[in-house]
């Protein structure tokens, strides 16, 4: 029934991979976004500066360029660091034991898998957007809600996860949903660093079958399916939470 010139199975795997990359990046970006939002609102000048630097840089550079920079640059950086650490360790040890032979204590070459590079890059990019969404959401929580938590003896962690977090998420939901849709579509970029996601597979398949329109149309439909399901779920969640705020 569903056949794509023999590519259907590998294409389904690619579609699943796309979803995995998207969901894992989402988790990372929410975590990073929360941390950055809290840092921005903290009283510490250092934390505020780091978070502001992060969001300014990330939001000011195209996703495609960032993806390439982090993938290739990160590879260089890690291997340089590993090389230098090896050298330093060996020199230090030779200083104490002159007969010591050169040994690679850290791997000489680390290959970053495009899977993790993709997740980390997208998570990192969207963390910056999430930070702004969360910052606004935190600011819109009524101060009295936290004051009541304080007055009843909650410590700052309980205040956060019992009161602040559930309340800010209601305010964050529309922005979060929007970011998720953009994030989902941005996963198409991971194909350029060699990950076998559905976009890459469609590219390869259309090259060998000479049916680019068919393959890219299917990719488009799968993305549309993912986003439609997400939109419905978000609408449901927003309606559920609005009952409480009414």
Cα(167)–Cα(160) distance, integer angstroms? 10
Looking at beta carbons only, is 49 or 150 nearer to other proteins?
Answer: 150
Asked if 170 interacts with other proteins (CB under 8 A), we say yes
Q: How far is the CB of 177 from other proteins (least distance, A)?
A: 18
Asked if 45 interacts with other proteins (CB under 8 A), we say no
* Token representation of residue 152: 């009843």
Question: Tokens 């969001």 correspond to what residue?
Answer: 55
Looking at beta carbons only, is 80 or 147 nearer to other proteins?
Answer: 147
Q: How far is the CB of 167 from other proteins (least distance, A)?
A: 5
Binding residue count for other proteins, defined by CB under 8 A: 22
- Give the E-state strand segments of 77-221 in sequence order: none
Cα(113)–Cα(179) distance, integer angstroms? 25
How big is the chain, counted in residues?
A: 246
Cα(211)–Cα(221) distance, integer angstroms? 16
**39, 58, 67, 163: which one binds other proteins (CB under 8 A):** 163
**52, 158, 203, 214: which one binds other proteins (CB under 8 A):** 158
Beta carbons within 8 Å of 132's beta carbon, 6+ residues apart:
37, 55, 175
Binding residues among 122-151 for other proteins as defined by CB under 8 A: 142, 144-145, 147-151
**73, 166, 207, 212: which one binds other proteins (CB under 8 A):** 166
CA atoms within 13 A on the CB side of 112: 20
Give the residues lining the site for other proteins (CB under 8 A): 142, 144-145, 147-155, 158, 162-163, 166-167, 170, 243-246
């Amino acid at each position: 029934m569903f056949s794509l010139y023999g590519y259907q199975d590998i294409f389904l795997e690619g579609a699943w991979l796309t979803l995995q990359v998207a969901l894992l990046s989402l988790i990372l970006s929410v975590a990073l976004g929360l941390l950055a939002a809290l840092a921005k609102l903290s009283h510490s000048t250092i934390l505020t500066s780091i978070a502001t630097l992060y969001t300014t840089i990330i939001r000011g550079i195209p996703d495609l360029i960032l993806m390439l920079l982090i993938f290739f640059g990160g590879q260089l950086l890690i291997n340089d660091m590993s090389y230098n650490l090896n050298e330093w360790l060996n020199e230090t040890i030779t200083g104490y034991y002159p007969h010591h032979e050169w040994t690679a204590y850290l791997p000489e070459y680390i290959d970053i898998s495009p899977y993790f590079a993709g997740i980390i890059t997208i998570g990192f990019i969207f963390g910056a957007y999430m930070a702004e969404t969360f910052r606004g959401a935190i600011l819109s929580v009524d101060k009295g809600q936290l004051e009541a938590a304080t007055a009843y003896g909650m410590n700052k962690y309980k205040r956060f996860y019992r009161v602040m977090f559930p309340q800010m998420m209601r305010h964050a939901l529309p922005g979060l949903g929007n970011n998720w849709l953009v994030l989902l579509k941005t996963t198409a970029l991971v194909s350029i660093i060699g990950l076998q996601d559905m976009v890459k597979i469609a590219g390869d398949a259309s090259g060998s079958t000479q049916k680019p329109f068919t393959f890219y149309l299917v990719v488009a439909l799968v993305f549309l399916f993912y986003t439609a399901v997400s939109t419905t779920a978000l609408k449901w969640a927003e309606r559920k939470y609005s009952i409480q705020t009414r």
